[in-house]
Amino acid sequence: MKRLRLLGATLAVGLGTLAGAQTTPPQLAPPDANRPRLVSPGTSELGALVVNHELTIDEAIGIALSTNRAYATAVAGLERASGRTGQARSALNPQAGLNGQFTEYDKPVTANFGGNDLILTNQFTSIFNASISLPIDITGAIRSAVRQAQFNEVAARIEVNRARNQLVYDVRNAFYQALRAQGQLVVAEDSLTNATTRLEDAQSALKAETGTQFDVLTAQRDVADAQQAVVSARGGVTLALGLLKSAMGIDISTPVKITDTGAVEQPAGEVPVVTVNTPAPTLPTAGDVPQVPATPDPSLRFHTVQNEVELGADYLTAVEEAIVTRPEVLESNAVLTAAEKGVTYARRSSLPSFAVTAGYVVQPNAAGFTPERQGTLGLSVNFPIFDGGLARAREREAKAEVSNAKTNRRAAIDGVTLDVQQAYVNLVQARERAHVVNVGVAQAREAFRLARLRAIVGVSASPQISPQLELGNAQATLTQAETNRVNALYDYNIARAQLDRAIGRFSYGPGSGYPTVPGPSVTGQPG
């Protein structure tokens, strides 16, 4: 079988083949909450990003940071939270306004003083009023509401980082799945080539009267099976690219081409694929047969369960990094701090409130004793005496929000720790599989080579098996070994991305909620 062509392989789907010189594509603008996309962008908008260009994994992520739907939703949520903070802060600012009133009565209001009529109110009156008021937040109730809104905005900003972390992982995972599909297509095509060669050998042997018609029929069946596998693998590539485009947030019908350059990492210490001719072992004589101990009863191990994967210092370091990095934990800190500010606001909202007011009234057609122009200055004081238990109920609700936020924070920490453990174990296992899978490939290649040599001369390793059947079995084993190699390679790279996502390493960067990890001074320090 031909060597698996994975590194440097490219994938293509759509109308025609996209080819041409490699150029640096332009960058897309980040999501704008004030100008959201109504439809996912296609070739007309992406332009040089996809036309005559092979996307790398970093370029795919760069496009997704502009076009991904979930990321745009998080950005809109941040804009909404920012608006709520502005609403809360506006209560501390002066309020000014102008008011005009025009009234026409059925007749003027008059009064008689010493035989003289005095107009008290004209039949038509106009009043113009300018007013300004400034709240005096002596109790700190308004400031508490502002602080609560600010920490909710911090939580919304960290939610953008959480969406970024998930977005980058989703695109990486879909990218690796597309490369895996391409690798499986290569294996299927190589298997078809080998099956076709076997059919030609079987037909030649039949003409030379050293083979049978059954061998030809068997080879024809294997060719048909291999052709079906190629058809399925080609469909798998198209579907995998569709999932990648969906994760990126671009039009599914957009033709794209991707390359694994800079995306695939080989596990450190991986055993290379080599063909080794191992001599047959020497059979022992009757006197050299060793004593074989009795096999222990495996059922004795069914009753207890313990860790089978060693979780060392690297795992503990990863957990510590995740606790201070993952947006879910930082967001829960901000939400908890906001809830605690909500309790303070609920308590202070029942305290007296004060405001300074000033006004200026103009009545161009004033009558009677009413002046045409008059200024006012006042102090407004509100003392709540009895509110029917509203303040007490509001405080109970706020305390319940704190309790719920504390539980959610604990759940976030436990969930992040579990994510890290699962990703760490998956990475350890994927690395171990990748280390040993090439040994199986080398053995399968050698077995296939020997089986074909025997089939050419019309013999097999066992007299009970026909040469063509033995060759078919060897080819099936080789195909499975090559498939296992493809899966092991991309399982390892996906596991790497899973651990990075679990730790939160994809969360921060230019244009996201926070470019770097926010500290306790930003998210609050839960008590």
269-299: b or e for each residue (b if 16 or more CB lie within 10 Å)? ebeebeeeeeeeeeeeeeeeeeeeeeeeeee
Q: How far apart are CA 425 and CA 300, in angstroms?
A: 26
**Residues 6 or more apart in contact with residue 295 via CB below 8 angstroms:** none
Q: What Cα–Cα distance (Å) separates residue 17 from each residue in 20, 91, 246? A: 10, 61, 21
Contact partners, residue 397, CB within 8 Å, separation at least 6: 346
Instruction: Give the pLDDT score at 290.
Output: 59
| C-alpha to C-alpha distance for 215 and 195, rounded to whole angstroms | 12
Spatial separation of the C-alpha atoms in residues 436 and 136, rounded to whole Å:
74
How far apart CA 188 and CA 339 sit, in angstroms, is 58
Q: Is 117 exposed, middle or buried (0-12, 13-18, 19+ CB in 10 A)?
A: exposed
d(CA 436, CA 272): 9
Kindly state the tokens that stand for 258. 């991707």
Q: Does domain 10-92+137-281+311-350+387-523 fall into CATH 1.20.1600.10?
A: yes
pLDDT at residue 8, rounded to an integer:
38
Q: Of 250, 334, 282, which Cα lies nearest the Cα of 81?
A: 334
Domain locations in the chain as residue ranges: 10-92+137-281+311-350+387-523
Alpha-carbon separation of residue 247 from 167, 171, 436 (angstroms)? 8, 6, 32
SS3 label, residue 438: helix
* Distance, first Cα to last Cα, the chain: 64
CB count in 10 Å sphere of residue 214: 13
Its pTM stands at 0.80
Closest-CA residue to 198 (of 409, 441, 498, 475): 475
Looking only at the bridges linking them, the beta strands covering 257-259 and 373-382 are unpaired
The Cα-based distances of 493 to 3, 177, 180, 316 in angstroms read 20, 10, 10, 21
Tell me what pLDDT residue 170 has: 96
pLDDT of residue 271: 53
Q: Tell me, what's the pLDDT at 270?
A: 59
Task: Give kind and range of the element (H or E) at residue 481.
Answer: helix 467-503
Q: Can you tell me the distance from the alpha carbon of 428 to that of 419, in angstroms, rounded to the nearest whole number? A: 14
453's CB contacts (< 8 A; 6+ apart) are none
Q: Could you tell me whether strands 373-382 and 353-362 are parallel, antiparallel, or unpaired per DSSP bridges?
A: antiparallel
How confident is the chain (527 residues) per 10-residue block, as mean pLDDT? 36 33 57 88 86 91 93 93 92 89 84 76 86 87 89 93 95 95 93 90 84 84 92 94 94 92 82 51 53 65 69 90 95 93 88 87 79 86 84 89 93 95 92 85 88 81 78 89 92 95 94 90 82
Instruction: Please give the distance of CA 159 from its chain centroid, rounded to a whole number.
Output: 11
On the CB side of 474, CA atoms within 13 Å amount to 26
Cα(341)–Cα(345) distance, integer angstroms = 6
